[in-house]
Amino acid sequence: MTQSAAYQRLTARFARIATIQEAAAMLGWDAAAMMPEGGAAARGDQLAVLAGLAHAELVAPQVADDLADAEAAQPDPGADQWAAANLRLMRHAHTRASALPGALVEAQARENSACEKIWRQARSRADFALVRPALETVVRLVREQAQALAPALELAPYDALMDGYQRGIGAADVAPVFADYETFLARALPAAEARQAALPAPVRPAGPFPVAAQEALCRRLSERLGLDFTHARLDRSAHPFSGGTATDVRITTRYDEADFAQAVLAVVHETGHALYERGLPAAHARQPVGEAAGMAAHESQSLIVEMQAARSDAFLAWLGPELHAAFGGDLAPYAPGNLARLWRRVERGFIRVDADEMTYPAHVILRFRLEQALVGGDLAVADLPGAWNDGFRALLGVTPPDDARGCLQDIHWYDGAFGYFPSYTLGAMAAAQLMAAARRAVPGLDAALGQGDAGPLLGWLRVNVHGRGSLLGFQDLLRAATGKPLDPADFEAHLTARYLG
């Protein structure tokens, strides 16, 4: 289909916006992985200016005219589904951006950056009072953002924030799923703990594990899973993450010489994110339709690699000898059964990123409820530590001993990311559903994993998830790949088979 001149102008503009955002992404990676402390203030200014530039491009007067002309000139959305989807996503992005004053966009970029730097110190000292004033500013701006977006998107304020991370999913969709899971967890967790107690206690490999050896192993493992390091880097940061761009992916981890598992499993997780970025449709690069289908979709890709594939019995049988070759010592701790007891151990711990896959959703449910209260004005920032501890105790029966292991542990709120947390558990549920479909569609998938070969799984994901970009929304993506929308029963079946079978 011949594209109108208006649509061509829009694609050029959105490519420019994406390029500005890529520059911001690289500065964000540098701030977390390389930048000295003294660069923080200037970096905040740089990110604020880039956010303002991208916003100004998106709300420029001609954009509204071009959108109207392109929509009017589009004779048949079915003739070019990619262009039709791209135009819808452009309209959505313009609607969101037009609802936000440029001054608010820049203020959020600046204040989020400043708060995140203070949060690092506060977490290291377990001192919530240190970051509280900065977080109050961030929350005030988030409330302004939500109130501005809500009428434009015809959504409730908190749903408008969720929309920025996963379109088409709101609190009313998530709340019953989480309530059902809370009921499942109350029954399944004690049963899993009892079954676990009856098994031999796992043996931890004896360290130390030199950082250089861990780093080399992590890179080899990431490559084995399919990441091409001519388009990727592996670095260190306080909080593991995946960033950069689709052609220049940056993954990070952190190392502990007493325990290599933290680094290895974080790299496997972030490699899943990176593989998704690398598999996005290159023909639609720097266009909304060429982006990932949202953060729940993104989490499904990190978790299908980490939890579904890399922690499977088959893959652990291959990985054990690789770990022993890297670190030496007694062979017994690297036996697949022992690794399974180590890395699939359920525990009522305090730290979300270290949580097992059964209790992890409880961490997310807590954050989902608290951030709704913060955004809605029902919870004051000053009362966050107490509300956190009460909620955690209600969900998992234990109370964090300090705020570093409580409300200070995650970067998200201190960096202004509200509405993100539900994506983690929606992604875990989607990962189980996708893995079940992949196993049905790809004979020998587990046999390949037993040889350390993730190629068959990656090939299926390239076709059914990665290559579709944002052509489909989250639920339609799952329908196309698995034959049904999100079905939490697949996740519960996976947990039951792994921890109660």
How far is the CA of 219 from the CAs of 29, 215, 235, 241, 270, in angstroms? 18, 6, 10, 15, 12
Integer Cα distance of 272 and 446 in angstroms: 17
How far is the CA of 135 from the CAs of 51, 102, 402, in angstroms? 20, 21, 18
Please tell me whether residue 279 adopts helix, strand or coil conformation: helix
Nearest-CA neighbor of 270 among 286, 289, 254? 254
Integer Cα distance of 400 and 283 in angstroms: 48
Q: Is 416 left (phi over 0), alpha (psi -120 to 50) or beta?
A: left
Cα–Cα–Cα angle for 410, 262, 388, rounded to 5 degrees: 25
Integer Cα distance of 370 and 142 in angstroms: 14
Q: For residues 113 and 43, is the Cβ–Cβ distance under 8 A?
A: yes
Q: For residues 230 and 212, is the Cβ–Cβ distance under 8 A?
A: no
For residues 37-48, b (16+ Cβ closer than 10 Å) or e, as one string? eeebeebbebbb
Q: For residues 415 and 43, is the Cβ–Cβ distance under 8 A?
A: no
Which tokens sit at 409?
């542990």
Integer Cα distance of 440 and 449 in angstroms: 15
In the sheet with 248-253, reading across from the earlier edge strand, the strands are 232-236, 248-253, 242-245
User: Which residue of the set 270, 291, 306, 492 is catalytic?
Assistant: 270
Task: Tell me whether residue 22 is one of the annotated catalytic residues.
Answer: no
Which tokens sit at 304?
């299908």
Q: For residues 253 and 266, is the Cβ–Cβ distance under 8 A?
A: yes
Integer Cα distance of 421 and 361 in angstroms: 10
> In terms of residues, how long is the chain?
501
Q: Which residues are catalytic?
A: 270
